[in-house]
Amino acid sequence: MAESILDKPLNEGSPLSPEALACPHQYNNRLRAEAPVYQCPHSGVYFVSDYETVRAIAKDHETFSNKFGQAMRPMGSEVDPDIAAIQAKGYAPVDTMLTEDPPVHRRYRGMVNQAFTARRVATLQPDIERICHDLIDKMMHNMQSKGQVELVTEYAEPIPLTVIAEQLGVSLDDYELFKTWSDAFVAQLSGMADKEQQLESARLIVDFQHYFAKRLEERRENPRDDIISDIVHAQFEDERPLDMPEMLSILQQLLVAGNETTTNSIAEGVLLWSKYPDQFAKLKANPELVENLVEEVLRLSTPTANMWRVVTRDTEVQGTPIPKGSMLQIRFSSANRDESIYPDPHTFDVERTNAKTQIAFGYGVHMCIGASLARKELNVAFRCLLERLNHVELACDEADLQYPPNVLLRGLAALPVRLS
């Protein structure tokens, strides 16, 4: 049996290795204990893993910039000519919300803020409930015929993807396309894709661009009450409208952030129910705990596990000098299991008193714009399941569950369960 990364000294492994990314919690425990600010000798990247420091860095956008778009492109190397040839058929990537800093970031974000206000999100609850109950009906039918269901594709994925498609104002007839495009963006972010996967992702992203460029032009002529119309008619403070690459960048981020992270949290929540039947029983007896349940699931799942920053000036973090221009990764999934903040941090506790302090949505100016929508989707998705189910049981060995390695995101590939 090959030696585990956990059995080696830190400097012999890498936080970016597939093993550390797929099963990060024990590795993060070591980082927090041995080197909460750690420079990997193989990549030169700095990794920050404790709660207070991660939060402080996330808040300091002047020293730790989100303008990491260029830096993410294979560690300083040129784009592969085959990939570049495919990308040339679409629109060049530009920095907007995720990979910009204030004040420009604030202007981009302001253009889509209205779609995610608490008041606007509250109006979506009946639609989300309808979607959830329809999916549960289908799952229970499949339970009768198959004896089990696959919760990711049959429940966790369709909820947020349907909601964000409806908010964007695009046809649900194209649902499979949206999922395929979202997967392509995730593969691009993963840092794990081989050449063939990179080529396929590039092709799919160009398809996405042309599809939404057409929708944007349609809304320019015939606006509706949807996010695409809001974006195409938005203006900067100098009254300049957004150009096509900017609009596509914003839509790309909304499509991925609007479904991938919520999907992963729903699936992780149901997995936790199967592992902790006493907590499931508490929720059945006390549905008012669902709001806190959502925060505890977000803490333990942290679907945006890590995020990049670029250091803008020579600085020091916990006594570690970090020079200007360095790449740094803040590990939200580690911060959310910091034992100095969360006693018994790996245990699922729906009554955890400080669950709301979790930072799964990030912190500071780059906190997830869709946090209120994600919370609403999770709240409704879990409430509907609690209303309809008496029992949740994993339909495979836990060791068989897979989390595809990804440098930034983390979520279950599949979750086979038996429901009654």
pLDDT digits (tens, 9 = 90+) for 87-111: 999 999 888 888 899 888 888 888 8
Q: Please tell me the pTM assigned to this model.
A: 0.94
The domain ranges of the chain are 24-419
Asked whether the beta carbons of 337 and 346 are under 8 A apart, the reply is: yes
Respond yes or no on whether the N-terminal peptide bond of residue 160 is cis (omega within 30° of 0): no
Per the DSSP assignment, residues forming a β-bridge with 329 are 47, 308
pLDDT value of residue 76 = 43
Q: What is the DSSP code (8-state) at residue 289?
A: G
pLDDT value of residue 237 = 67
pLDDT value of residue 93 = 87
Residue spans of the chain under pLDDT 50: 74-76
Distance CA 286, CA 288 (A): 5
pLDDT value of residue 238 = 66
pLDDT digits (tens, 9 = 90+) for 197-234: 999 999 999 999 999 999 999 999 999 989 999 899 88
pLDDT digits (tens, 9 = 90+) for 53-64: 999 999 999 999
pLDDT value of residue 329 = 97
pLDDT value of residue 188 = 84
Could you name the CATH architecture of 24-419?
Orthogonal Bundle (1.10)
Distance CA 105, CA 221 (A): 27
